[in-house]
């Protein structure tokens, strides 16, 4: 088998959300480089491989990206098949395209295997549809943590009319709140804060834009967590499904006692 680097999305944490293609790629790998947020249970699909931890987590000591690049290159040039396991999806805040480009410039074949992103899985586990006919026509995924620590255009996001899913925002709740309020989003906009998406220890805190920082503190919200901001964050699909097609959202929320 010729050398290759697979950039694999391991999903949000639940090992059953791994794709069949990811399982096949892991079975071919001689070396597996695994991020901290990947559930180690997925390693049952690659008992033949050497496993190397290359953790990268906000607020913690991280493996330098340049070291990860050179490690992938070293093993590929040795003729080995390498699997780079990333939490969620490699191309959603996962540097998948950067790594693929870097390796391609050095003549190494790569293939990206998509994974389920935490924003989708966490919302679904909490009964939140990220899009909903007549309510939310789209969804916008953003990260509150930028490479140069610059601020996002919160005003544009507030006016966009889509459900916002914010990654890596636990440490910046005040900035997110203030930016969206300044951009015209209403104080009472529903917010769901979801910790450890898709895992057995997943927790959720329902709040509003104005109260989310205070509620997160009382709840003890910790990373990894995602924020879902928008009208749909007040929904609970299991309770709403029988009447979704007939009722507007205000009636649906009133029926479930959600404010």
Quick: pLDDT tens for 46-75: 999 999 999 866 555 678 999 999 999 999
7 Cβ contact partners less than 8 Å away, ≥ 6 residues apart: 84, 86, 90, 96, 99, 100, 110, 111, 112, 113
pLDDT band at 155 (very low <50, low <70, confident <90, very high): very high
Strand arrangement, sheet containing 139-143: 139-143, 163-167, 225-229, 190-195, 203-208
Tens digits of per-residue pLDDT, 85-141? 999 999 999 999 999 999 999 999 999 999 999 999 999 999 999 999 999 999 999
Which tokens go with 62? 């991280």
Percent of the chain surpassing pLDDT 70: 88
Contact 83, 66 (CB under 8 A): no
* Rounded CA separation 154/174 (Å): 12
Residue 241 — pLDDT band, cuts 50, 70, 90? very low
- CA distance linking residue 170 with residue 62, whole number of Å: 18
Kind and range of the H or E run holding 67: helix 65-77
Q: How many CA atoms lie within 13 A of 25 on its CB side?
A: 26
How many angstroms separate the CA atoms of 83 and 49, rounded?
9
Q: What's the pLDDT at 149? A: 74
32 Cβ contact list (under 8 Å, min separation 6) = 26, 43, 46, 49, 50, 51, 52, 82, 83, 85
Residues 6+ apart with CB under 8 A from 82: 3, 4, 5, 6, 29, 30, 31, 32, 33, 72, 75, 76
Sign of CA dihedral 175, 176, 180, 183: positive
What integer pLDDT is reported at residue 62 of this predicted model?
A: 77
pLDDT of 239: 55
Of 63-67, 163-167, 218-222, 229-233, the one with minimum mean pLDDT is 63-67
Gap between the Cα atoms of 48 and 243, Å rounded? 50
Torsion angle in degrees (nearest 10) through CA of 20, 22, 23, 28: 130
**pLDDT of the residue at 25:** 97
Would you say residue 171 has pLDDT above 70?
yes
Q: Which residues are catalytic?
A: 35, 56, 168
pLDDT of the residue at 243:
47
The confidence band for 256, taking pLDDT boundaries of 50, 70 and 90, is very low
Rounded CA separation 38/62 (Å): 15
What is the pLDDT of the chain when averaged over all its residues?
A: 90
- Give the whole-angstrom CA distance, residue 108 versus residue 188: 51
Structure confidence at residue 63 (pLDDT)? 87
- The pLDDT score that the predictor gives to residue 148 is 72
- 172 has pLDDT over 90: yes
Q: What is the mean pLDDT of residues 225-237?
A: 93
Length of the chain: 259
The closest alpha carbon to 47, from 18, 26, 74, 24, belongs to 26
């Amino acid at each position: 088998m010729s050398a290759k680097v697979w950039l694999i999305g391991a999903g949000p944490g639940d090992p059953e959300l791994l794709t069949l293609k990811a399982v096949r790629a892991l079975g071919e790998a001689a070396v597996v480089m695994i991020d901290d947020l990947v559930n180690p249970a997925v390693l049952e699909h690659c008992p033949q491989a050497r496993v190397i931890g290359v953790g990268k987590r906000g607020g913690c000591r991280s493996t330098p990206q340049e070291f990860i690049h050179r490690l992938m290159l070293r093993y590929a040039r040795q003729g080995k098949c390498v699997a780079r396991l990333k939490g969620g999806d490699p191309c959603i805040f996962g540097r998948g395209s950067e790594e693929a480009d870097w390796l391609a410039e050095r003549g190494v074949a790569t293939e990206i295997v998509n994974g389920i992103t935490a924003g989708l899985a966490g919302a679904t586990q909490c009964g939140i549809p990220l899009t909903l006919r007549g309510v939310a026509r789209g969804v916008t995924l953003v990260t509150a943590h930028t490479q140069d620590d610059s601020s996002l255009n919160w005003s544009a996001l507030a006016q966009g009319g889509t459900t916002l899913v914010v990654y890596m925002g636990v440490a910046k709740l005040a900035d997110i709140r203030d930016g969206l309020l300044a951009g015209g989003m209403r104080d009472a906009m529903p917010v769901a804060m979801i910790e450890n998406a898709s895992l057995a220890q997943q927790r959720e805190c329902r709040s509003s834009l104005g109260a989310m920082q205070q509620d997160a503190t009382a709840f003890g919200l910790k990373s990894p967590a995602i924020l879902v901001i928008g009208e749909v964050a007040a929904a609970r699909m299991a309770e709403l499904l029988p009447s979704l097609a007939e009722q507007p959202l205000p009636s649906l929320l009133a029926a479930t006692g959600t404010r």
